[in-house]
Amino acid sequence: MTAYAIAHLHSIDFGPELAEYLRRVDATLEMYGGRFLVHGGRQAVREGPHDGLVVVVEFPDLTAARQWYDSPEYQAIVGLRTSRARCTMILAEKCSPGHRAIELLGGSDAG
């Protein structure tokens, strides 16, 4: 099932390290079927504090997302990003088709 790498970057200090990361990250994604869905476009905050930007990368499945993040190729460059921005990185699997929020309640409340 499709999975996503979701990064919330905070306190971004764009410098040569981050530029090098951007030059090299695409090649690491291609090997694992990753593609950007959200990256660098306009973002509109509706709730809560927000001091950065959100990036979303789609992968064929959670295994591919994990393999990408843990790969020697990505690990060789991740420090370039983390040296210039604080980041929360989450790997998350897509919901099943027809998923409804109430299903998280389980039991008789779900249905």
Q: Tens digit of pLDDT for each residue in 11-35?
A: 899 899 999 999 999 999 999 999 9
- What value does the mean pLDDT take over residues 5-11? 93
Average pLDDT score over the chain: 93
Closest CA to 89 of 59, 43, 56, 48: 56
Q: Is domain 3-110 in CATH 3.30.70.100, yes or no?
A: yes
Read off φ and ψ for residue 3, nearest 5 degrees.
Answer: -135, 165
pTM of the model: 0.88
